[in-house]
């Protein structure tokens, strides 16, 4: 393994993060009616929806960053 190359586990972890983020996006429409049925959360539906979508974006962004970092060429000047 080259000293500047990241470990393959980081690539797998990045793919898992992206998959989890995509899964969150597909799961939100299925879960929101169940959350809407809970009286305590009924008034906070827009905030809860925003938080779920933000969580999905963060997961996809973090996983994408790990994947890009794994395949990015190292700068020869460094």
pLDDT number for residue 26: 96
The 10s digit of each residue's pLDDT in 9-51 is: 999 999 999 999 999 999 999 999 999 999 999 899 999 999 9
Domain ranges of the chain: 8-71
SS3 assignment, position 77: coil
Position with higher pLDDT, 44 vs 1: 44
pLDDT number for residue 5: 66
> What is the rounded distance in angstroms from the CA atom of residue 19 to the CA atom of residue 62?
11
74-78 long-range contacts, CB within 8 A, separation 24+: 74/4
The 10s digit of each residue's pLDDT in 53-67 is: 999 999 999 999 999
pLDDT number for residue 1: 45
């Amino acid at each position: 393994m080259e000293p500047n190359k990241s470990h393959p586990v980081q690539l797998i972890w990045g793919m898992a993060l992206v998959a989890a983020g995509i899964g969150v996006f597909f799961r939100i429409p299925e879960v929101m009616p169940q959350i809407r049925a809970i009286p305590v959360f009924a008034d906070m539906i827009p905030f809860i929806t925003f938080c779920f979508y933000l969580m999905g974006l963060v997961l996809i962004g973090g996983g994408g960053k790990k994947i890009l970092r794994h395949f990015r060429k190292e700068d020869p000047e460094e």
